[in-house]
């Protein structure tokens, strides 16, 4: 497998941040708002690990998965006031 580029690495690191946020939100009584954030984060990031595990040629052919996930994650972060060290704000 070829090395990941910076955008792919940043997306994986942002996925890790999202998992930490989900764990934090789920560790308390889950309100409707926190449930919506958890679902939005999971929906935004669910394709990123599978994408990153693809061979380089397949990643190139499926680059739309990365772009869509990152864009959706940026929207979630913006909508819910979440910060990421690895995603540019909208």
In a domain, 46, yes or no: yes
Domain residue limits at 51: 6-80
Question: Is the residue at 26 inside a domain?
Answer: yes
The torsion angle over the Cα atoms of residues 32, 34, 36 and 37, rounded to 10 degrees, is 170
Give how many domains the chain has, as a whole number: 1
DSSP, residue by residue, the chain:
-PPP-HHHHHHHHHHHHHHHHHHHHHTS---HHHHHHHHHHHHHHTTHHHHHHS-HHHHHHTHHHHHHHHHHHHHHHHHHT---SSS---
pLDDT band at 2 (very low <50, low <70, confident <90, very high): confident
Instruction: Evaluate whether residue 89 is within a structural domain.
Output: no
Q: Has residue 72 been placed in a domain?
A: yes
Q: Does 44 map to a domain? A: yes
88 within some domain: no
Residue 64 included in any domain: yes
Chain segment 21-35, per-residue pLDDT in tens: 999 999 999 999 999
Mean pLDDT, the chain, integer: 95
Q: Tens of pLDDT along 3-19?
A: 999 999 999 999 999 99
Q: What is the pLDDT of residues 27-57, one digit of tens each?
A: 999 999 999 999 999 999 999 999 999 999 9
């Amino acid at each position: 497998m070829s090395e990941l580029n910076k955008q792919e690495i940043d997306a994986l690191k942002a996925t890790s941040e999202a998992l930490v946020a989900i764990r934090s939100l789920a560790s308390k009584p889950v309100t409707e708002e926190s449930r919506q954030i958890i679902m939005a984060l999971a929906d935004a990031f669910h394709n990123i690990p599978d994408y990153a595990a693809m061979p380089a040629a397949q990643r190139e052919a499926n680059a739309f998965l990365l772009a869509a996930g990152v864009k959706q994650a940026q929207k979630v972060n913006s909508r819910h006031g979440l910060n990421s060290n690895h995603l540019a704000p909208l």
